[in-house]
Structure 1
Amino acid sequence: MKSKRLSYHRPCKDDFQEYFAINADPQTNLHNPHGPMTIATAHEVFHNILLHWNISNYGIWMVRELNRPEIIGFGGLSNKLYQDKQQTNLGYRLGPKFWGKGYATELAKTSIAYGFDQLKKKDIYALVRPSNTASIHVLEKCNFKLVDYFSDFQNEDPSLIYRIDASTRR
């Protein structure tokens, strides 16, 4: 699948090292109370990404710039538990050298279109830390609305739950 500047691919086991490198980078975890991913956690999460694809036939994509071999990040839609309810979740993480180019917004808009047009989802959610103003800006540019808060980390401000539904996406 492609958008204006990016290509999206189902990840495979060979993509693990790039996945780990991006998720172990302290810069990509500035707003993550857990901090950078350990190799053990990365193996578990990446396994679950591949498993999600096998079960649902969609999931988090491996993302590249068009016509370039380097992986710039991972993102897309997956199922996520929100306060005991399974929801379709938008998530992404890009390598720092690809920040500030509008790629997160392009990835988010592609994911939204895919979710509503191909998967026929009624709504899509996103969970973001309140200090992550760049991701909040991406969500708001894509017409997500703040709908709730989620106390997912002890002694931390609650995460923000954003939502977009098919009828108000544009």
Structure 2
Amino acid sequence: MHRTTARLILRPPKTEDLARLFEIYGDPATNQFNPAGPLADARQAEVLLQGWLHHWGKNGYGQWAISTSGAPEQVIGFGGIALYNYLNVERLNLGYRFDAAAWGKGYATELGSAALEFAFTDLEVEQVYALVRPAHSASIGVLEKIGMQPFGELDDVPGQTQSLVYKAERLQMI
């Protein structure tokens, strides 16, 4: 199921995306605020991709492979909405990670808006959540720009500052 925005093409990931996924998720720059750090090897990327493909197969949606309409063959990131465990509570989570070369162009905002529209219009869910590290001001700015509001904190990384939880509600967005 492909979707498009003004500048982006959003499509389900494929096994052929493995190398690009590892490039992006294995890059220390793209993991600056990720407590787990970059993926260490291609096997970790394969496990992540298989999880995404399983989610798509089971639910009919999930993380998209993202490219631009100007270069549809070049994946610049991955993101979208998927079920995610917030400790012991499963929530519909918005997440994304872009190649560092794609930063600062508004792509995360465009992707985030499209993901919320999909969740509220196509899936007709009531809420979408997002987790962000407190020091990640750029991502906090994206979440707030697309209408997500601070909801609370989650102690999901032992020994570190709690993650911030953001939430968007369908009624607020329609």
> 1:59-74 residue pairs with structure 2 within 5 A?
59-68=62-71, 69-74=73-78
What code does the residue aligned with 2:47 have?
Answer: E
Structure 2 gap ranges (5+): none
CA deviations on 1:42-96 (whole Å, 9 max, x unpaired) are 2211110010000000000000000412110000000011131111000000000
Residues 81-119 of structure 1: per-residue CA shift (max 9 Å, x gap): 113111100000000000000000000000000010001
2:38 to 24, 36, 39: 36
Counterpart check, 1:100 vs 2:104: yes
| TM-score, normalised via structure 2 length | 0.95
Quick one: distance in 2 between partners of 1:160 and 1:99? 21
Q: Assess if the C-alpha contact under 8 Å between 2:155 and 2:161 holds in 1.
A: yes
Task: Tell me the TM-score normalised to structure 1 length.
Answer: 0.97
Alignment partner of 1:87 out of 84, 91, 98: 91
In 2, Cα distance between the equivalents of 1:11 and 1:41?
16
Residue pairs, 1:3-22, within 5 angstroms? 3-22=5-24
What CA deviation, in whole Å up to 9, does each residue of 1:128-170 have, x standing for no partner?
A: 1111110000000011111111111122100001000001126
In structure 1, the partner of 2:158 is 154
Distance in 2 between residues matched to 1:83 and 1:167, nearest whole Å: 26
* Structure 1 partner of 2:59: 56
Q: Secondary structure at the match of 2:9?
A: strand
Give the 3-state SS of the residue equivalent to 2:134 in structure 1: coil
Dislocated runs of 4+, deviation >4 Å: none
Query: 2:154, 2:30 → 1: CA distance?
Result: 21
| Structure 1: gaps (5+ residues) | none
